Chains A and B, each alone.
Chain A
Amino acid sequence: MTEPATNRSFVRLSGVGHRYDPNPAIPPAVTGIELDIRRHEFVAVVGPSGCGKSTLLRMISGLLTPSEGEVSVFGKQVSGPRDDVGIVFQKPTLLPWLTVRKNVLFPLKHKFGRYGRDDEKRADELLAMAGLESFSNKMPNELSGGMQQRVGIVRALLLNPDILLMDEPFSALDAMTREQIGFDLLKIWQENPKTVLFITHSIAEAVLLADRVLVMSKRPGTVLEVVDVDLPRPRTTHTISEPRFGQLTERLRKHIYEPEAT
């Protein structure tokens, strides 16, 4: 505990794999994943559909127990759902009968049955940070898709988790909103550093946001390569026009379209 946390592995996956079907003729969803994530690192995972990206995320969250290998957070094995994890899903999955503010406070209400003044203050601060303060008393269906997903992110931050797991959080949004919300996420992440695992289909999005990009293979999902993104932060719209950005996306694209080239 006395060691500086930033230099050692925070989330460690050693030989992790999972099969949903016990029939050995059917390949496992993911297998043999080795990965070390540093504290407050932003890791993106890209790979073809059905490569087990979501399975990986669920194993880190403790919602799914790996059938091989071990997931550990800060040296402790993950054995069940853990409350220091915030999850953002592909769809915002807000509760349509609660206001935006109450949706943000929902994790507390759900976990403990109540929340206090301080919690309300924290919810308001988080909403303000995401630029949603004027919408806090609106109902979810009065918000655009992008705003709903922002509320989903704020909700995941309420319990101030160490780890933020994001399962293709922007894939339901249009391209313009998607880019903007990506920058907003980076801003939020810089203000509240978290260890982020970000699953996406978009190579450009992965390069733009992450410190490292993990490329996964087709089923059974394994790690094909881990690419360090050495682009300077803060990343802005200018980052996209830098030659290095183009080189990195090109390199990742090669892996996805010609996996045998590796």
Chain B
Amino acid sequence: MSLKLPEGRAGRSLLTAAPWLFFVALILLWELICQGFSLPAYVLPAPSAIVEAFFNVEMSRWFTHLWATLRVALMGFVVSILVAIPIAIAMMRSELLTRTLFPLLVVVQSTPVVAVAPLIIVLMGSDDPSRVLITCLLTFFPLVVSTATGINETPEELVELSRSLDAPLRRETWQIRIPYAIPHIFSGLRVAITLAIIGAVVAEFVAAEEGLGYFIQFSTSFFRIPQAFAGLFFLAVVSLLLFKSVQWTQQIFFPWSLPKK
């Protein structure tokens, strides 16, 4: 099998179009299978039925659910950033703190959040704070790890430069180490933003009256499968847009941090 692509302009436009063509082909195949085998909508709805279901739900209802999920996901994301980055910096400064804290972080990270979520709801009630906490439990760890990695990967020469200038540690942190961690922080942020959506949905699955996760669960329990699929796709699109927004933020504000093409 050859991995060679057609050269020139045609080759490049094929490269750009390939994922979209593949996606359209998959949808078409799905439609054909559903129509061809006359699958009932409660087993596997056809894409056309899903689109129909999407427009049968009022836009204002979609936005209510979207806002509920987005609010929790973004709050969890922001709280994670505000907690994880200072902790990563503090861990760089103190080995004692790293030794003390890191095992706990690993334990928290390796406990399935889905299993802990109901307990958190019991403990804290089914309001935003407990949902934000559930989200944070997912997003926190990748951010700490990526920030700490970035800070530690600062070239030794720059640390020596800072020391030879006898500069205060605060400036070494802010003018050298943190900017050096930016590319790593952003890879952490890209992971964290999609995890934030997952966290918000998990929290809604446990206890909620609104939100896209709640909407999917509620539609499924009433056997409105096309509607559940519509909710699922909506959620996927939102998650993708958030992921892209993180990328755009990096491109606009930190263009130097992107790998050279």
Contact = CB atoms under 8 A, between A and B. Distances in A.
Contacts of A32: none
A110 B171 contact: yes
A96 B155 CA distance: 12
Interface stretch (A6-14, A83-91, A251-259): A83-91
Contact of A141 (B160, B161, B172, B260): B260
B155 A91 contact: yes
B162 A61 contact: no
A48 interface: no
Interface bin, chain B = 20 to 34
A181 B233 CA distance: 59
Interface string A84-111: 0101011101011100000000110111
Q: Is the interface of A mostly helix, strand, loop or mixed?
A: loop
A83 B165 contact: yes
Most chain A beta-carbon contacts within 10 A, residue among B162, B167, B171: B167
Contact of B165 (A80, A111, A139, A141): A111
B179 A111 contact: no
A110 B162 contact: yes
A62 B160 CA distance: 10
Contacts of A96: 256-257
20 contacts: A80-B166, A81-B163, A82-B164, A83-B165, A87-B160, A89-B160, A93-B161, A96-B256, A97-B182, A97-B254, A106-B175, A107-B165, A109-B175, A110-B162, A110-B165, A110-B167, A110-B171, A111-B165, A111-B167, A113-B171
Interface of A: 58, 61-63, 80-83, 85, 87, 89-91, 93, 95-97, 106-107, 109-111, 113, 139, 141
Given A87-B164, A113-B171, 18 more contacts: A63-B163, A63-B164, A81-B164, A82-B164, A83-B165, A87-B161, A89-B157, A89-B160, A93-B157, A95-B158, A97-B254, A109-B175, A110-B161, A110-B167, A110-B171, A110-B172, A110-B175, A139-B256
Interface of B: 155, 157-158, 160-167, 171-172, 175-176, 179, 182, 254, 256-257, 260
